Chain A
Amino acid sequence: NAGVTQTPKFQVLKTGQSMTLQCAQDMNHNSMYWYRQDPGMGLRLIYYSASEGTTDKGEVPNGYNVSRLNKREFSLRLESAAPSQTSVYFCASSEYGTGGYEQYFGPGTRLTVT
């Protein structure tokens, strides 16, 4: 099992460019999440999907959109990148979103916006 995979691993964008971060899990989990981590900080929730077909905003959703393509895949889109979106992005999944199920994390995407 690959667990949670993310592509790309690294990306450099210019201000105003758009891109989509891809995430896939092979554990048949219902819930998936997107976080960002800034230097020396904890993770902040951008969006989450409690189950296939549903998405909801987290703490810092502005400037992002998401798509839960199917049960396996959850993508994060930056429509017009800004330097403030320079960060490391982590995707995670869990069997269920509530009830105390551990989250499994991908390796992260390091995004720099110049």
Chain B
Amino acid sequence: SQQGEEDPQALSIQEGENATMNCSYKTSINNLQWYRQNSGRGLVHLILIRSNEREKHSGRLRVTLDTSKKSSSLLITASRAADTASYFCATESSGTYKYIFGTGTRLKVLA
């Protein structure tokens, strides 16, 4: 079964607006990563946040992690048409070598 569930499943915004997507997971994790996928291509790593971190920034990306709620959010600020893609969270559970991916949020940024 999927570990992570992203919310919303789909999101459509205007260029320049901010996009927020959420990920919930079920078990204790070592870290959580966000990936982007363009049009069925391979996934590309965006950002990693460890279980002892609460917030992390990378360029226009901001990730938060709330381990008490077992949830994470990804914020993309000042979105661009090129940000149109599917975004997935992936969790590494404690004591395993496996990453479990969520179902993804499809983001469409309208020019």
Contacts and interface: CB of A to CB of B under 8 A. Distances in A.
Contacts of A42: 2, 4, 88, 101-104
A70 B43 CA distance: 24
A99 B44 contact: no
Given A40-B103, A105-B44, 12 more contacts: A35-B101, A42-B88, A43-B88, A44-B101, A45-B101, A48-B98, A100-B30, A102-B33, A102-B48, A103-B99, A105-B42, A108-B40
Contacts of A88: 40
Interface in A17-37: 31, 33, 35
A100 B50 contact: yes
Interface string B92-107: 1000111111111000
Contacts of A48: 97-98
Contacts of B33: 100, 102-103
Which 7 A-B residue pairs are closest in the complex by CB-CB distance? A105-B42, A97-B97, A102-B45, A100-B31, A42-B101, A43-B101, A50-B97
Contacts, number: 67
Interface of B: 1-2, 4, 30-31, 33, 35, 40-45, 48, 50, 88, 90, 92, 96-104
B99 A45 contact: yes
A106 B96 CA distance: 23
9 contacts: A40-B103, A42-B4, A43-B43, A48-B98, A59-B1, A98-B92, A100-B30, A103-B90, A105-B42
Nearest to A50: B97
A53 B74 CA distance: 36
A104 interface: yes
A66 interface: no
B64 to A, nearest CB: 17
Given A43-B101, A48-B97, A58-B98, A99 B43 contact: no
